[in-house]
Amino acid sequence: MADCIFCSIVSGDIPATRVYEDERTLAFADTNPQAPTHLLVVPKEHFTDIADVSRDPEVSAAYLAGIRAVAEQERLHDFRVVFNTGADVGQTVFHLHAHLLAGRPMGWPPG
């Protein structure tokens, strides 16, 4: 999708620290990390958010498997996955992304 920063990362037009890639999924380092491990896991195809992708069960399943594969590759046992969905809760990039966070204690509920 034109003017989408994460589509541009998927295509390679914008550089990123890529840590995992399969046919449908890409993971790269967040440039403003909030934990010792802070990766963004995105479907290569453009979806706006988790509600959008959930209309496609096949892509949704592949995406979840991709997130699991990233966690396994990075040997993460305890981790948090966050899908900000909507500007009011902090979504700033409207290409679906999972924040995969690990490496420090995390409070609950989130602030």
Which positions lie near ligand AMP, rule CB under 6 A?
Answer: 5, 14, 16, 28, 30-32, 40, 84, 90-93
Active site residue 97: yes
Query: What is the closest distance, in whole angstroms, from the C-beta atom of residue 96 to ligand AMP in the complex?
Result: 10
Please state, in angstroms and rounded to a whole number, the distance separating the CA atoms of residues 11 and 104. 32
Cβ closest to ligand AMP, residue 14 vs residue 51 = 14
- Residue 86's binding partner among Zn ion, ligand AMP, none (Cβ under 5 to 8 angstroms by kind) is none
